[in-house]
Amino acid sequence: MSYLTWILDIVQLMNEACKYAPLHEKSSFILDAEIVATGANGQFLPFQSLSGRARKNVSIADIKVPVAVMVFDLLFLERSLLTESLTQRLAQLHQLHFRFPTQLITSDPVEAETFLDASIKAGCEGLMMKESDTTYEPDKRHDGWVKLKKDYTDLGDTLDVVPIGAWWGTGRKCGWYSPILLAVWNKETETLESLCKCISGFTDEYYKQMLVKYSEAAGTILPKAPANVSVPETLQPNLWFTPMEVWEVLGAEFSLSPIQETGSDLLPDSCGGRGLSLRFPRFLKVRDDKKIEDATTTEQIVEMFLAQPNRSVDTGANDDI
């Protein structure tokens, strides 16, 4: 019941859309869409804003964080459209009464870059670029679809982090470790403190190598977190790793997290006691030249966060993965 009350306004939005032709004449359809939190004037809010929505005994009038259902694609309309091209699917989709994200049709990289900049300023994380003749292949990596996100150079430098655990992957990554939980080094307490989850930058071959490197056969899978690892109770991975190597990663920026606790005691009171997390971490390489104690420190990431020109205060970073 709590789940149903949480989506009352979404159901209402869909019911309103279905009143318009041609949807009211159709019996079934499947959309590719995303729920986005919106402000009073319609601007996009950070994803983590959705976590503030009440989940029990909710009425439409009680909802404080309104949402929009942004529709990207049409997969089924009385029949499967998966084998039709993107152009054909969008032609049918745009006849329906939904809210659509702003789109640009271009082959000009300068236009695309300008469009990306505008999307970032509007509060989006980036763009999804698709070739016009692509079909829709559920749960598969598609060469005709590319995510273009915020410039990674915003962070200014790479980080040296330690993999401390992982969850089992789903979909295409089923049977592999994904995401990986990463940590930084706290010199004062001599502990590894969780920073973020990482799902980007790995090749399929490296995923396979990790199954060997971190395994029961190798003695590198642990039944519980090591004594020198600090992770919030609400962020427990499926598997714990023996901390034994340092990875170099790149990210977009640091943000305050409602889950992570790292650095919370070093941040100003205005940060509300929250810790730091890294947005959009991407694995670069293993640092064979570094020991665990050489990893980026908690104090360093706090300094980097406070030096950011536009500090992100409520995005929740990667904790929603």
Closest C-alpha to 198, from 183, 209, 216: 183
pLDDT at 249: 96
Residues in the chain where the model's pLDDT stays below 50:
1-5, 313-321
The span from the first CA to the last CA of the chain, in angstroms, equals 24
Q: Which residues, in sequence order, are CB contacts of 159 under 8 Å at separation 6+? A: 184, 248, 249, 250, 251, 278, 281, 296, 301
Q: Is 56 helix (H, G, I), strand (E, B) or coil?
A: coil
- The pLDDT, as a whole number, for residue 63 is 62
Q: Which of 84, 96, 100, 98 is nearest to 132 (CA)?
A: 84
In the numeric block, which tokens belong to residue 266? 């070093």
Radius of gyration of the chain from its Cα atoms, rounded to whole angstroms: 22
Closest CA to 281 of 199, 221, 163, 203: 199
How far apart CA 193 and CA 186 sit, in angstroms, is: 7
**What per-residue confidence (pLDDT) applies to 303?**
93
What is the predicted pLDDT for the residue at 218?
96
Helix (H) or strand (E) run with residue 33 in it: strand 29-37
Contact 260, 281 (CB under 8 A): no
Nearest to 200 by CA among 257, 128, 252, 124: 252
pLDDT in tens, 26-69: 668 898 988 888 877 777 776 666 665 655 665 656 666 777 88
Q: Which residues pair with 80 in a beta bridge?
A: 76
**Domains along the chain?**
2-149 (3.30.470.30), 156-307 (2.40.50.140)
d(CA 231, CA 181): 10
CA dihedral 9, 15, 18, 20 (to 10 degrees): -90
Res 237: pLDDT: 96
Res 15: pLDDT: 77
CB 74, CB 96: distance < 8 Å: yes
